[in-house]
Amino acid sequence: MSTNPNTPGAGDITEDVKILHSMGYAQELLRSMGGFSNFAISFSIICILSGGINSLAQATSGAGGIGIGIGWPLGVMISGVFALAMAQIASAYPTAGGLYHWGSILGNRFSGWVTAWFNLLGLVTVLGAINAGTWTFFEGAFPGLGIENNLTNQTIFLAVITGGMAAINHFGIKLTAKLTDFSGYLILITAVVLAIVCLAYAPSWDVSRLFTFHNYSGDVGGGVWPEVSGGWVFLLGLLMPIYTITGYDASAHTSEETVGAARSVPRGIVTSVLWSGVFGYIMLCAFVLMIPDMDEAAKQGWNVFFWAMDAQVPAGLKEVLYVAIFIAQLLCGLATVTSASRMIFAFSRDGGLPFSKALAKVSPSYRTPVAAIWTGAILAWLFVWGASVVSIAGTSAYAIVVSCTVIFLFFSFVIPITLGLFTYGSSKWPKMGPWNIGRGAFSLFAVLSIVSMVLIFVIGVQPPNDWALNITIGFLIVTGIVWLVFERRRFQGPPIGDMIAKKQAEIAAAEAALGK
């Protein structure tokens, strides 16, 4: 095996391809990502410089300092139990669109199909949320450019950056991986520098502020949350860390492009959550300590980050940090396009989407699923545009998209985890991968994931994000109708049993067409 965790070895790739063939699929995507690249793509999507900053008001205008001091590590642990359970399954089944396959293999065609749709919608909406947040950050960070914050400018901005992200993905995983590798270092360095700057310009280091509760719901918190009771506003604030620490399924989605995937993928899932949690906590705690007055900060609502930076940090230093954060947010969106497109590709490969044949096609020149890349990017752009136009009940498009993202993604996580709880060691899941935490630990994390999903759903549909409930119910109704009327007889799911052996000639032909 290659000694460098980010340098592909021929033996590793041969074993990876054998595993993929044994699951009934051809090696169509270019397998060139090493272990660090697999970690970096999830770490880039989590991007503490995106969700951690753009969603900051959900904590500071909710329960105050304790929303970071206690809320952040609690939210990270909630996301972490999903990551640990998913890592166990990913090691056994390292394929693109991992969650879809896990839901199908550990359950049946229907559970896999529902998992795929939840995950696909979650990935499209998270891309929309990331890029909508990037627009909000851009508009707040660079007012000197004179770009007015209106729907037309937002729509053009999102079209430009989302199109750029799709174009980079179009031209191959090598370029994307280099940029997300750079993003991993950029996030770490910028988070540390931002923390140092915040501590250097803090009026005092009042650490007790991080563990002090204050109910800022209602007008005293800039209207971020409606007026609610104390304990409830703390729980609502958990949406900030839970939303930020997600997207680590990207490591699974790029399994077929990762060398030594059975080991690298689960490691990428878990370590991306771990290091995002640690560095995010350092950065956000330092920021809270820098705030000159918590009551005034709460009143700023969604503008709290810029208000505090303007009040405490010199202009030149502040602008340098803003540029680094903006670049990190763009690379966060870039990595999300990669993840979403691999989900679309994998689901289409088994005929799960309209126009599946086109969406599952891989470019011989670039070895990327070109149609899937552009489809995911366009859908994300349309979703944000629709949310912005509707502007439901005065709620910001960003808040609506964030709530939908959290619900959809974590539902797609919990379905295969729950199925794994009941099939571990059975004929459906007889063999564990090399990354194995044992049945007892997996069962514990699976149960905690189910409990956490209930909490996430309950807090995710509360006002002012109650339209997330309507959207979720509407999705479930439409999904049920589509399955019963169209897909129940047509959709076959991933190849299993004798189907795998019958597909070997098809696999050879597909790889030959790509020059392998």
For 305-355, how does the pLDDT look when each residue is reduced to its tens digit (9 = 90+)?
999 999 999 999 999 999 999 999 999 999 999 999 999 999 999 999 989
pLDDT > 70? residue 3: no
Highest mean pLDDT among 149-153, 245-249, 398-402, 491-495: 245-249
* pLDDT score at 6: 46
Average pLDDT over residues 64-86: 97
Average pLDDT over residues 423-452: 95
CA-wise closest residue to 468 among 133, 136, 112, 121? 121
Residue 499 pLDDT grade (very low, low, confident, very high; cuts 50, 70, 90): confident
**Range with the poorest average pLDDT among 128-132, 283-287, 399-403:** 399-403
DSSP state of 487: I
Average pLDDT over residues 36-56: 95
Q: Give the number of other Cβ atoms within 10 Å of residue 202's Cβ.
A: 17
Cis preceding-peptide flag for 464 (omega within 30 of 0): yes
Average pLDDT over residues 32-39: 94
**Range with the poorest average pLDDT among 7-11, 152-156, 307-311, 422-426:** 7-11
Instruction: Report the alpha-carbon distance of residue 131 to residue 47 in Å, rounded.
Output: 12
* pLDDT score at 113: 94
Q: What percent of the chain has pLDDT over 90?
A: 76
CA angle at residue 449 from 446 to 452, to 5 degrees?
155
**Range with the poorest average pLDDT among 239-248, 254-263, 312-321, 400-409:** 400-409
Instruction: Report the alpha-carbon distance of residue 338 to residue 44 in Å, rounded.
Output: 11
pLDDT tens digits along 105-142 = 999 999 999 999 999 999 998 998 899 899 999 999 99
Residue 8 pLDDT grade (very low, low, confident, very high; cuts 50, 70, 90): very low
Q: Which long-range contacts (CB under 8 A, 24 or more apart) does 482-485 make?
A: 483/110, 483/113, 483/114
* pLDDT score at 302: 93
**Range with the poorest average pLDDT among 268-272, 430-434, 491-495:** 491-495
Residue 11 pLDDT grade (very low, low, confident, very high; cuts 50, 70, 90): low
Instruction: Report the alpha-carbon distance of residue 191 to residue 242 in Å, rounded.
Output: 18
Average pLDDT over residues 262-285: 97
Average pLDDT score over the chain = 91
Residue 238 pLDDT grade (very low, low, confident, very high; cuts 50, 70, 90): very high
pLDDT > 50? residue 7: no
Highest mean pLDDT among 229-238, 273-282, 506-515: 273-282
Q: Provide the CB-side half-sphere exposure for 310 (13 A, CA).
A: 11
pLDDT > 50? residue 4: no
Residue whose pair of structure tokens reads 């808040």 in the numeric block? 399
Q: What percent of the chain has pLDDT over 70?
A: 96
Average pLDDT over residues 423-450: 95
**Range with the poorest average pLDDT among 99-103, 238-242, 383-387:** 383-387
pTM of full prediction above 0.75: yes
Average pLDDT over residues 271-297: 97
pLDDT tens digits along 210-222 = 999 999 999 999 9
Instruction: Please name the residues in contact with 224: beta carbons below 8 A apart, sequence gap of 6 or more.
Output: 57, 58, 61, 62, 216, 217, 301, 302
CA-wise closest residue to 409 among 45, 39, 25? 45
Residue 506 pLDDT grade (very low, low, confident, very high; cuts 50, 70, 90): confident
